Chain A
Amino acid sequence: MKIAIDPITRIEGHLRIEVDVTGGAVADVWSSTPTYRGIETILQGRDPRDAWVFTQRICGVCTTVSAIGSVRAIENALGITIPDNARILRNLLEAALYTHDHVVHFYHLHGPDWIDVTQALSADPAATAALQRSLSPWPNNTTAYFTGVRDKLTAFVSSGQLGLFGGGYWGHPEYQLSPEANLLLMAHYLEALDWQREAVKIHAHLGGKNPHPQTSVVGGMATALDPTSPTAVNRSTITALKGIAKTIKDFVDQVYVPDLLLVARSYPAWAGIGSGVGNLLSVGDFPNARGKQLMPAGIVRGKDLSTVEVLDQLKITEDVTRAWYLGTKPLHPSVGVTQPKYTGPTPPYAFLDTTAKYSWGKAPRYGGAVMEVGPLARLMVAYAARVPRARQLVDGALAALGLPVSAMFSTTGRMLARGLETQWVAEQIRPWLNALLANLNAGKLAVADNSKWDPSSWPASASGQGFSEAPRGALGHWVSIKNGTIANYQIVIPSTWNGSPRDAAGNRGAWEQALMGVAVHDPTQPLEIVRIIHSFDPCMACAVHVIDADGGEVVQVTVVP
């Protein structure tokens, strides 16, 4: 039996997973990106100083990092060193993105895979309050509070006209939380909606707006620092940002991470499901004043956490054997080409021809090997590199759950890694703000090095690369500049790694490997597959927005016996 899971009904869009289920388990799988972007082609011939404005539009969620990757590539090509304030500001913008994005992912995207709202309606509010008090000091822990939330949910569900949660897999036997845990998590789902409005304000202060902050610039940042100006970032801005930093950290420490452990504890089997390829790649990010990254770059192979390989970006290649591009052999992105040639079926179609080319995503490989990127890769590369805080966070969570470190290579492990790195980053925001304040007080106000702004100061040709760690994983930009304009530009985004199709050797991509062999209880309700894919947090391309008047299914599940 073959199943296609396609997120969009009206067009063939974004991410598509085709799965062959035989004997109740996944026998084979194909991950496809059915949308062509072409950002790299758009950039050719343009001013490299403008590139970040375009690359940031790759994604409406991970906005900041796709700008930072670009300016870093141009700075690398032109030999520009950014001032300390620009480093701190970039770290802060990325930290705000991580914390906001990961929390929203957990409650509003991944949460419904584990939380059954219909069960929350039968919860005992007093028992839910007791559960909350056992988890953390979070103040919303009274019987009255949870009675209120339960009544609100009950009224909403029974009102009927809104068809609340109509698209879920509610009642699927794989939902295993107690009614009280469901109510508690639904309460936090609602609280997170308010929290996220506050958390994102860091971008408004330092980036002008969200999404797509507007203060990137080749050479540093365009965020003015001036203690005497009411419109620049001044002491009172930093005080306001510290307030937001506390709001972020409190929620992550007292709500998100405890809830994550509650879910992990309630679904013990998932610490052994969806383990995936076991090769991890991180380009590292969050540099300190000496250039050392908070989360280091490196490679872990074959789930071996006893050692870390040094990352050599020259070993990265992209293979288009099974992708809709012209090209024959794997190429390093610095000489990569993007020449689209669609040979797939004409939409609408039921299934792709998975014996031929089947995706717009290329297949990035590291020295020929398939790699997983993302929070798990970042945290476990840091763990294997013996970074003390990474060790504390991972060992602490695993001890609380009674799991061995090998359990990190799983669906649960990916969820834990996302939450634990959120905790790690959230606790850095205040120290970074203090560093910014110290510079402000010392009169160190430079935010950009403009000495190479003028193209007449550039060599006739230059090339460089820039890396950042997006919330969803390693991001790389490669640029070559000739006579002041972009001659070639290649981008490898996180989901190109994770969602890659097969390569010339037939190796499956990271998602494909993670789904192999997974038991599927009911192929018409492939909750297990969705849980695993969500654990990677796919970052597929631009959204299409059409209001569906009858609220129809967004994920089309086509089953062919």
Chain B
Amino acid sequence: MSGIVVLGLGNVLMTDDGAGIAALFELDRRYEVPDEVERLDGGVLGLQLLGRVEDAVRLIVLDAVSTGREPGTIVRLGLGDIRAVFAKKLSMHQVGFNEVLAAAAIRGRQPPEMVVLGVEPAAIEGGLGLSASVAAAVPALVAAAVAQLADWGVEVRERATPLEAGPGAVLLGA
């Protein structure tokens, strides 16, 4: 096990919140990723992801990230940029990824290397499929993940012909 994990996060039923999942699908569709790189659809799981995060040595998180920039902007966050906060919550469903990071950190088990590659959402509301500006940014998000894998010495080759559109197609409006 290389310990390299690409983790997509988000709710595909909430428009741009599904950007990370769309990118995860596109990564496999457009590139040949070696099997030792684990690709994981984390959906909207919270603490259930703790084990996978703690077991990772190098972790790429693909997600919609809200920093107030223009929709479609690619955002790169290092570990120190994300304030892992045990925020106030009313429901179990709000135990989110910030909590997973905080729990891993307090236990001294954060992945040694981690990067969040995100895209600034335009709209997050009930509905299937990304908004146009975010869908257009997905290839750049995938390219950022590929570049990060290359930095880690993983050879990722672009497919001469992308695979047929899979479940991610509906998110990209294809």
| A163 and B81 alpha carbons, distance in the complex (Å) | 11
Partner of B93, one of A543, A551, A553: A543
The answer to the question of B26 belonging to the interface, with a C-beta cut-off of 8 Å to chain A, is no
Known: A60-B44, A193-B50, A546-B121. A7 touches B83 (CB 8 A): no
Query: Which of chain B's residues 50-92 have a Cβ closer than 8 Å to chain A?
Result: 50-51, 61, 63-67, 75, 77, 80-92
Known: A164-B106, A166-B85. A7 touches B66 (CB 8 A): no
Q: How many residues belonging to A are interface residues under a CB distance threshold of 8 Å?
A: 58
Nearest A residue to B116 via CB reads A547
Known: A197-B50, A543-B94, A545-B17. A553 touches B44 (CB 8 A): no
Known: A7-B90, A553-B87, A554-B89. A548 touches B66 (CB 8 A): yes
Interface residues on B, range: 35 or more
State how many angstroms separate the Cβ of A538 from the closest Cβ of chain B.
Answer: 5
**Structural contact, A153 and B86, CB atoms closer than 8 A:** no
A-B contact count (CB 8 A): 174
Partner of B90, one of A11, A61, A555: A555
| A104 and B46 alpha carbons, distance in the complex (Å) | 12
Query: Which of chain A's residues 419-472 have a Cβ closer than 8 Å to chain B?
Result: none
Quick one: which of B75, B87, B125 has the most chain A CB within 10 A? B87
Known: A549-B77, A551-B98. A104 touches B65 (CB 8 A): no
Q: Which of A173-181, A410-418, A529-537 is the contact stretch? A: A529-537
A 105-148 to B, binary, CB cutoff 8 A, 1 in contact else 0: 10011001000000000000000000000000000000000000
| A105 and B97 alpha carbons, distance in the complex (Å) | 17
Nearest B residue to A545 via CB reads B44
Known: A108-B95, A193-B50. A164 touches B66 (CB 8 A): no
Residues of A contacting B46 with CB < 8 Å? 543
A 1-31 to B, binary, CB cutoff 8 A, 1 in contact else 0: 0000101101100110100000000000000
Known: A11-B124, A162-B84, A166-B85. A60 touches B90 (CB 8 A): no
The answer to the question of A539 belonging to the interface, with a C-beta cut-off of 8 Å to chain B, is yes
**Structural contact, B95 and A109, CB atoms closer than 8 A:** yes
Residues of A contacting B89 with CB < 8 Å? 7, 109, 554-555
| A210 and B121 alpha carbons, distance in the complex (Å) | 29
**Structural contact, B84 and A14, CB atoms closer than 8 A:** no
| A197 and B45 alpha carbons, distance in the complex (Å) | 13
**Structural contact, A540 and B86, CB atoms closer than 8 A:** no
The answer to the question of B14 belonging to the interface, with a C-beta cut-off of 8 Å to chain A, is yes
Partner of A547, one of B66, B86, B90: B66
State how many angstroms separate the Cβ of A156 from the closest Cβ of chain B.
Answer: 5
**Structural contact, B95 and A553, CB atoms closer than 8 A:** no
The answer to the question of A196 belonging to the interface, with a C-beta cut-off of 8 Å to chain B, is yes
State how many angstroms separate the Cβ of B64 from the closest Cβ of chain A.
Answer: 5
State how many angstroms separate the Cβ of B67 from the closest Cβ of chain A.
Answer: 5
The answer to the question of A228 belonging to the interface, with a C-beta cut-off of 8 Å to chain B, is no
B 116-140 to A, binary, CB cutoff 8 A, 1 in contact else 0: 1010010011100000000000000
Q: Which of B5-13, B27-35, B161-169 is the contact stretch? A: B5-13
The answer to the question of B103 belonging to the interface, with a C-beta cut-off of 8 Å to chain A, is yes
The answer to the question of B108 belonging to the interface, with a C-beta cut-off of 8 Å to chain A, is yes
| A543 and B101 alpha carbons, distance in the complex (Å) | 18
Known: A14-B93, A554-B94. A193 touches B103 (CB 8 A): yes
**Structural contact, B88 and A546, CB atoms closer than 8 A:** no
Residues of B contacting A8 with CB < 8 Å? 94
Partner of B124, one of A165, A537, A546: A546
A 194-217 to B, binary, CB cutoff 8 A, 1 in contact else 0: 001100100000000011000000
**Structural contact, A547 and B97, CB atoms closer than 8 A:** yes
**Structural contact, B65 and A546, CB atoms closer than 8 A:** yes
Known: A11-B124, A530-B88. A161 touches B80 (CB 8 A): yes
Known: A162-B105, A534-B90. A543 touches B124 (CB 8 A): no
Besides the known contacts A551-B82, A551-B85, 7 further A-B residue pairs in the complex with CB atoms under 8 A apart: A109-B95, A152-B106, A156-B106, A164-B84, A193-B103, A537-B92, A547-B96
| Cross-chain pairs A/B with CB under 8 angstroms, 28 sampled | A7-B91, A8-B94, A11-B14, A14-B91, A14-B94, A15-B90, A60-B93, A105-B92, A108-B99, A112-B88, A152-B108, A163-B84, A164-B102, A193-B107, A211-B48, A542-B13, A544-B14, A545-B9, A545-B64, A545-B96, A547-B9, A547-B118, A548-B66, A549-B67, A551-B84, A551-B87, A551-B98, A554-B88
